[in-house]
Chains A and B, each alone.
Chain A
Amino acid sequence: DAKTTQPPSMDCAEGRAANLPCNHSTISGNEYVYWYRQIHSQGPQYIIHGLKNNETNEMASLIITEDRKSSTLILPHATLRDTAVYYCIVRPAGGGNTGGFKTIFGAGTRLFVKA
């Protein structure tokens, strides 16, 4: 069962910010929001994750709403190399029998960055 809803595709102009939304209305208190991306034919690449506070790293920013039912991944200055499928994943903390290994990759959002 997919726990997240993402738009199937989005366009963004090169140099502009790309804002990718994700709906996770059934998220539980101990579940983290992860973002990965997959550039054509390559293995997925970790981008960022968060629990309830906004997070930023060298690749992107993650904005999580106060009720945690949705989030937005922001690529501040999109380049052509950011064209990829972006996956929003909700999963419990930890691993093993707690269900932490249920990292479910849905269909994601296909982001096209255009010159």
Chain B
Amino acid sequence: NAGVTQTPKFRILKIGQSMTLQCTQDMNHNYMYWYRQDPGMGLKLIYYSVGAGITDKGEVPNGYNVSRSTTEDFPLRLELAAPSQTSVYFCASSPLAGDTDTQYFGPGTRLTVL
């Protein structure tokens, strides 16, 4: 299993540009998440999904959109990039077995908006 993969690894955007961060998992997990991590800080939840066709907002959803058309893929869309969105973005998935929720993270996408 490749686990959780993210593309691209790095990206520089100009203010106002748009882009999609890709996330794919091959573990057949129903639950998927998008986090952002600013320098020296912890992770903040942007959006999450409990299964194909179902998504919901996390702590910091403004400026982002998501979709979940398949179990494997959970892309994150930035429509009008702003400098405040400069961050490292992590995708994660989990099987949510019983009462516990062990999350498996991808390697991250480092985004700079200039």
- Chain A residues in contact with chain B, CB under 8 A? 32, 34, 36, 41-46, 49, 87, 91, 93-96, 100-108
**Which one, B14-22, B62-70, B74-82, B98-106, is touching chain A?**
B98-106
Chain B residues engaging chain A, CB cutoff 8 angstroms:
4, 31, 33, 35, 40-45, 48, 50, 56, 58, 88, 90, 92, 96, 99-108
Report yes or no: B104 in contact with A42, Cβ–Cβ below 8 A. no
Minimal beta-carbon separation of A80 from chain B (angstroms): 21
A–B Cβ pairs within 8 angstroms, 21 of them: A34-B102, A36-B103, A41-B108, A43-B108, A46-B102, A46-B104, A87-B42, A93-B100, A94-B99, A94-B101, A95-B50, A95-B96, A95-B101, A100-B96, A101-B33, A101-B48, A101-B101, A103-B45, A103-B101, A105-B42, A106-B42
Find the B residue at minimum CB distance from A50: B100
